[in-house]
Amino acid sequence: DARVTQTPRDKVTEMGQEVTMRCQPILGHNTVFWYRQTMMQGLELLAYFRNRAPLDDSGMPKDRFSAEMPDATLATLKIQPSEPRDSAVYFCASGRWGDTEAFFGQGTRLTVV
């Protein structure tokens, strides 16, 4: 049963610490999205990749957020330094390039205290 895997599922960290979230897209998918979900803002697109190349990361605060795809089986989202306002659920989704559906992981719930 192919699925997008995100780790960790939950993360509590102190303000100022570095946080790394990982995502394993579904094998064969060449598009990866990172979203952030909060009650106030809903689902915000942070960045997305096609064939491991970043296409758009304009939704990300550039000074503290970075997204990479070291290889086709791993996408990472890093926050350094973390702030309380970064508390949210972060979702990774993958799909095939073009106008088809996106498959979501279960999310990483980040709490910055």
Nearest-approach distance from CB 32 to another protein, in angstroms: 12
The residue (of 3 and 85) whose beta carbon lies closer to another protein is 3
The site for another protein (CB under 8 A) is made up of 4, 33, 35, 42-43, 45, 48, 50, 55-56, 59, 91, 93, 97-107
Q: Report the first-to-last Cα separation within the chain, whole angstroms.
A: 36
Nearest-approach distance from CB 59 to another protein, in angstroms: 8
Q: How far apart are CA 45 and CA 31, in angstroms?
A: 13
The residue (of 68 and 81) whose beta carbon lies closer to another protein is 68
Nearest-approach distance from CB 81 to another protein, in angstroms: 25
- DSSP, res 81: S
Nearest-approach distance from CB 16 to another protein, in angstroms: 28
> What contacts 1, CB < 8 A, 6 or more positions away?
none
Decide: 46 and 77 in contact? Cβ < 8 Å: yes
The residue (of 87 and 106) whose beta carbon lies closer to another protein is 106
The residue (of 20 and 106) whose beta carbon lies closer to another protein is 106
Concatenating the DSSP letter of every residue in 27-63 gives TT--EEEEEEEETTTEEEEEEEEETTEEEE-TTS-TT
